[in-house]
Structure 1
Amino acid sequence: MTGTPALYPCTVSHVRTAPTRYALRHRTYMWLTDPDHPPRLPLPLRPLAGFDARDHFDGDQPTIRAGLDRFLAGHGIDLRGGPVTMLAHARVLGHVFNPLTLYWCHDPGGAPRCVVAEVHNTYGERHCYLLLADDAGTTREQRGDHVTVEAHEPSRPARSPEATRPSEPLRTPEPLRTPDSAGPAGPTRPASRRAQVPERQQNPPGREPHRAEKRFYRTEKQFYVSPFFPVDGAYRMRLPLPDDRLDLTVRLERAGTRPFTATVRGTRREATAGTLLRAALRHPWSTLAVSAAIRVHGIRLYLRGLPVQPRPRNRSQESDT
């Protein structure tokens, strides 16, 4: 893997089916990057995208990767320096709000170890879910020199791999570089002696054409997000590592029902100055707009008579300013 970042203009959709039906959609953009090497922006553009360790995990580590490693160590996981790919909103004009940040974690040879889902609510609180690679069954289908990995629930038969349609990348003059980039694509990591995978090392985060992963994870809900749902039930998440397309699904399951589903759909764009400027002009104050939209829709649901559930105490987000 390399630290070359990417931008995903995307649409976020929420569908609520109980206790009343309600749906919303909004457009935004997200970053896919290596937390070891966050993007280095030209000075005039730096207010449009910042990645601060205070905005993630406990907020007291020198880097985002250090915060992730400490969280994993608390659960007995050591990546031994293996690559990590992060999907998140950046800090825009001094404001940050990340409803969901994802970290795809690999061992030094590139094999997936786990996914960390970091959730923030609008009350300045955050919580991390550790999703292990063995939480879901997988089916491997060999196709010549390619391996397709499709996940399915152990009780269900494997599905046929979905056909993907690669999108044409947006051509812009010069990609943004990470702090230690030796060229437009940045340096590559040394391959593990146990598993030589140069193709994985030479492709940007999420762009590994020789392997596609579609994994489903299930975890108990432990964190207060919507004021209209109590902290019970479980999440079922479909979290494939983004490639040319971003395609995520998070579904809440309660008492045999599925009252809430969120999806994120987007298309990859090379992270260049031009791409960032266009995204920022189309979605000014993007993180503030996301936070405001959630509150506006919450008010609408409250006016429809949905009862508010009591909120348990949780750790505050130190840097939601």
Structure 2
Amino acid sequence: MSSAVLDPPAVPALVVGTVAHTRHRPVHHAFRYRAYQWLVDIDDLPAHRGWRRLVSGFSAADHLDGGRLGGGLRGDLQRFCARRGVPLAPDDQVLMLANARVLGYVFDPLTVFWVRTADGRLRTVVLEVHNTYGERHGYLLDLDEAGRGSMDKEFYVSPFNDTRGRYAVSLRLTPGRVVVGVGLEREGERVITAVTDGTPRPATPRAVARVVRRHLLMPQVVTLLIRLHGLRLWRRLPLHDRLTHPKEAVR
């Protein structure tokens, strides 16, 4: 457990900003787009009324073990962390940065769970990576005082990368800014850099309406962009066979 005190924004919040992705080698390819995510307390999820419920849905089925053994998101996260030697206390707060379901659909390339003790210290962080094949993988991450950590790559995300390499992670969670940076490094070289950078805003009904109008069908757009950029890389990069992924990686 880190001795750093975590000072997060008030939740629920809409984190509005950009997603930038750069492939450095063996070919260069970069893109950036405007986006938003939700920052929520998994024990106090948003409860909007009317049409806003259609664009702010959260379900344990979309994360980790899918709620298989009960207890919702928290139950799954508790079991995941305990199996890796980090038991959660009953009064720990868990903040989740994720996309919400929009018209019943969601895709989350990366979900971040911050576990915060009752006195505000960071107990641990869980990164959950999703691919477009309907699979997901959880990583338990230890951060230093500056919010940096690393972990071996264990999950097949795209046909343009195998599971070799190591991720360098940098996280920032403050009242004025939320940043998630992930870099894939292999044999001492940076292969990919992905950064989500946004400003948290209280998720009032008016704010939800405004953001949703500006970013129509956000999860659907994310999936479409991934596939379009994949097509652009299809003939420029070697392809790697997809590996079977064990479900134990999220349990």
Question: TM-score scaled to structure 2, two decimals?
Answer: 0.90
- C-alpha deviations, 1:165-216, integer Å up to 9, x for none? xxxxxxxxxxxxxxxxxxxxxxxxxxxxxxxxxxxxxxxxxxxxxxxxxx11
Structure 2 counterpart of 1:79: 88
Aligned 8 A contact 1:7 1:268 in 2: yes
- What is the CA-CA distance between 1:259 and the residue it aligns to? 1.2
Contact in 1 for aligned 2:14/2:37 (Cα 8 Å): yes
Rounded to whole Å, the distance in 2 between the matches of 1:38 and 1:91 is 13
Question: Map of 1:78-97 to 2, 5 A cutoff?
Answer: 78-81=87-90, 82-97=92-107
- Separation in structure 1 between the aligned mates of residue 229 and residue 157 of structure 2, nearest angstrom: 14
1:309 corresponds to 2:246: no
After superposition, the Cα gap between the structure-2 partners of 1:57 and 1:3, relative to the gap in structure 1 and judged at 3 Å, is farther
CA contact (8 A) 2:9 2:176 kept: no
Q: Deviations over 1:215-274 (max 9, x none)?
A: 111100000112111101100000122421122211000001001000111112110111
Deviates more, 1:102-111 or 1:288-297: 102-111
Of 36, 47, 57, 2:54 maps to 47
> Which stretch shifts more, 238-247 or 115-124?
238-247
CA distance in 1, matches of 2:183, 2:17: 18
- Say if 2:140 is the partner of 1:110: no
Whole-angstrom distance in 2 between the partners of 1:248 and 1:101? 10
Match of 1:37 among 44, 61, 64: 44
Q: Does 1:13 align with 2:13?
A: no
Asked if 1 retains the 8 angstrom alpha-carbon contact of 2:17 and 2:197, the reply is yes
Distance 1:84 1:290, change over 3 A: same
Q: Which entry has the higher C-alpha Rg, 1 or 2?
A: 1
Question: What are the residue-to-residue correspondences of 1:161-176 with 2, within 5 Å?
Answer: none
**Any unmatched runs of 5+ in structure 2?**
1-7
Structure 1 residue 226 corresponds to structure 2 residue 170: no
Residues 70-111 of structure 1 deviation map (CA, whole Å, 9 limit, x = unaligned): 111111222212111111100111001010110111223221
- Is the CA contact (8 Å cut-off) linking 1:3 and 1:34 kept in structure 2? no
Structure richer in strand, relative to its length: 2
| CA distance in structure 2 between the partners assigned to 1:315 and 1:27 by the alignment | 33
Quick check: 2:14–2:201 contact (8 Å CA) kept in 1?
Answer: yes
Matches within 5 A, 1:1-321: 4-59=11-66, 60=68, 61-81=70-90, 82-133=92-143, 136=144, 138=145, 151=146, 215-303=147-235, 305-315=236-246
Structure 1 unaligned regions, length at least 5: 139-150, 152-214, 317-321
Q: What's the CA shift for 1:112?
A: 0.9
**Are the equivalent residues in 1 in contact too, given 2:9–2:175 (CA < 8 A)?**
no
> Is 57-66 or 12-21 further displaced after alignment?
57-66
Between the two proteins, the alignment pairs up a number of residues equal to 237
Letter in 2 for 1:78: P
Indicate the percent of aligned positions where both proteins have the same amino acid. Answer: 43
Moved more, 253-262 or 24-33: 24-33
Aligned equivalents of 1:290 and 1:121: distance in 2? 12
Which amino acid is the alignment partner of residue 223 of structure 2? Answer: S
**Counterpart contact for 1:49–1:90, Cα < 8 Å:** yes
Counterpart contact for 2:9–2:200, Cα < 8 Å: no
Query: Deviation of residue 2 (structure 1)?
Result: 9.4
8 Å CA contact retained: 2:9, 2:173: no
Letter aligned with residue 243 of structure 1: P
How far apart are residue 4 of structure 1 and its match?
Answer: 3.2
SS at match of 2:151: strand
d(CA) in 2 for partners of 1:239, 1:226: 23
Question: In the alignment, residue 82 of structure 2 is paired with which amino acid?
Answer: A
Cα RMSD after superposing both structures? 1.6
User: Which residue in 1 is equivalent to 2:5?
Assistant: none
